[in-house]
Structure 1
């Protein structure tokens, strides 16, 4: 029986890998940049997130409304759901703190609950209570902004693909989900009880939320083909290991895209990007400092994981690709000067991660040939959130 289960798991992973569609060089070059929308002062997508946003506070609610406004105005075809829970914390004096997860889903037209497997792109949006004024630019304002931009970039291509009838084939019944989770941060000291509030509540609820009988996927957890969690991204020169053997193939796929983008001189943080080379006297190409350096490592050598929002989902059998640097950025939870702020973001690196995550999702969803360069150049989003 153990052997049968292992073989079924392997066949499932091989099937996912086989369905992965490579983007052309031309498409990779034409993926849109977030540009001014990621300006740390006035950018319509990123700037409203760069504030304190502790769970249960007005700042947290304002950032949540920013996300909802974005989806309502920019991505009206997405189904938006709020998942509410509450819990006492070590600092709440017996009162319950509310936690609100945002679940944004785009499934093929005509599909029904339980029919569609999904790629889940995930980040948390709350910030740490201490030290006072902590912003959490890498943790995880920038990752949230990356996901908003990626969702919008992919949306028109998904529509074009499905209008072409590609979703009529059951093999093409694949959806995309953005999870913006609340309550990742500990209020006092990280522990199983004081952390991951929103993720724990959502995973527990989804475990027992059953789809109709005879559905392909029994629960929303079963529907997640891959859970890609972004965290602590936005500092220069990150190194992200491959944490789990069962998703090393997905890590290698993302690493391959990264190398292609570097070879095409599309990574702005690369020492070999044309803009950087133009400023150097020595024009000789330099070694590329890859974000994902472990694509070639043995499938049997893995360091395990880092505690984060994926844990309640992984404990219930969801496959995880954890995109988090090790070591952590030097600004992470820096008690000396609250340095994980907007000014300490490396914006070239932020933009490079955005392009990489978007390309990875586009290949997963097999969107080659469905991108419209003219549509990608549409007018920038104007945020209405008051800070």
Structure 2
């Protein structure tokens, strides 16, 4: 990603007319924690991503295999696709480097191609070529792990909701909303960030989807049109992030996520909060401290909206009309593109808080209140088995 530049948005405020319902306090507090799965050394979700994974290398292939294994083992109802492309880079000496985007989709049962609008949860999984040995924990191993956990956390609730709707006798589900996970390859520049040396996977996928058409008379013309909201996570996992609202047309979605953050803090469920019970217990002075939110623009007005722009994987999608909610802090974390952007330098309380925020946002978007079964899910999530699958 590249620099932040403020600008005045001239676009109209468009809430898109999408249905959206809040989760109860009880549900918010009960959303499953990633727990040991986010252990940086042996956690079943996060640890396999905390390695060098430069595009086209064995490390990249291993992380991609991890994604495939995770979904095939634990989320078999999701459809997996791998989008392949190749490109030369400024350091490949004319050799074509492979880039592989991982795509997992969960749509309502019986839905037809071109009839489902989707919430896309997006991060890049490649790591930067330099400095040698760069891990990229915030950039973006932790965001990938957050998305995997969120998908697993809402999966059973999606099934329960859709089964209940079918049982009620609906010939066709009233809503045609699904969820799509995009873990993109080749975001990082190999030498110096430019239009041609960056966003390799995102540029290839956006171009492919722009020219891939759904059947005639479909609600959505292309897979790009099917993306109702593209939520891009990047550089998350450091302490005290400052995340602005960048785009006026999705400020309504930003505010919804900010409301969730505020409620989680009020409920004492935000672990990085200075007023979390564990931190209060360690302080001699029990007086509550001022809460500094992650999402700092919750009160930004629509009439005088001043946004901004950070070059990232959303760019080729936004250029084709996709609505973007970019969750990236500015300023960037201190460890940005440094060797100490590794697991040891993650703020794990912040990582867990972001994970809960993203999960709750997806749960509200998909209107899952009343469909979570936390006791059953807790047993289900105790262990991830080690079944191996070949990448299709």
- Shorter chain as denominator, the TM-score bin is over 0.9
Match in the other structure for 1:344: 345
Which blocks of at least 5 consecutive residues in structure 2 are unaligned? 1-10
Secondary structure of 1:270's counterpart equals coil
Give distance in 1, aligned partners of 2:194 and 2:262: 37
Q: Which has the higher contact order (CA 8 A, sep 6+)?
A: 2
8 Å CA contact retained: 2:244, 2:297: yes
| CA positional deviation for 1:172 | 1.3
1:360-386 per-position Cα deviation (integer Å, ceiling 9, x unaligned): 010000000000011220222234679
Matches for 1:115-154 after TM superposition, within 5 Å: 115-154=115-154
Give distance in 1, aligned partners of 2:377 and 2:98: 37
Distance 1:385 1:47, change over 3 A: farther
Is 1:320 matched with 2:324? yes
Match in the other structure for 1:188: 191
1:139-186 per-position Cα deviation (integer Å, ceiling 9, x unaligned): 000000000000000000000000001686654110000000000000
Root-mean-square deviation (Å): 1.5
Give distance in 1, aligned partners of 2:38 and 2:306: 34
Normalised TM-score (structure 2): 0.93
Distance 1:220 1:119, change over 3 A: same
Match in the other structure for 1:353: 354
Match in the other structure for 1:365: 366
| CA positional deviation for 1:35 | 0.1
Give distance in 2, aligned partners of 1:103 and 1:213: 24
Give distance in 2, aligned partners of 1:191 and 1:381: 40
8 Å CA contact retained: 1:122, 1:228: yes
1:18-51 per-position Cα deviation (integer Å, ceiling 9, x unaligned): x101100000011000000000000000000000
8 Å CA contact retained: 1:48, 1:385: no
Give distance in 2, aligned partners of 1:246 and 1:270: 29
**Paired residue for 2:216, among 193, 213, 216?**
213
Please identify, of 292-301 and 97-106, the stretch whose mean Cα deviation from structure 2 is larger: 292-301
Matches for 1:248-287 after TM superposition, within 5 Å: 248-287=251-290
**Paired residue for 2:335, among 331, 342, 350?**
331
Match in the other structure for 1:3: none
1:117-151 per-position Cα deviation (integer Å, ceiling 9, x unaligned): 00000000000000000000000000000000000
Distance 1:223 1:14, change over 3 A: closer
Normalised TM-score (structure 1): 0.94
| CA positional deviation for 1:305 | 1.1
> How many pairs align?
373
Which blocks of at least 5 consecutive residues in structure 1 are unaligned? 1-5
Match in the other structure for 2:3: none
Match in the other structure for 2:235: 232
Give distance in 1, aligned partners of 2:322 and 2:383: 35
8 Å CA contact retained: 1:120, 1:226: yes
Secondary structure of 1:102's counterpart equals strand
Please identify, of 119-128 and 170-179, the stretch whose mean Cα deviation from structure 2 is larger: 170-179
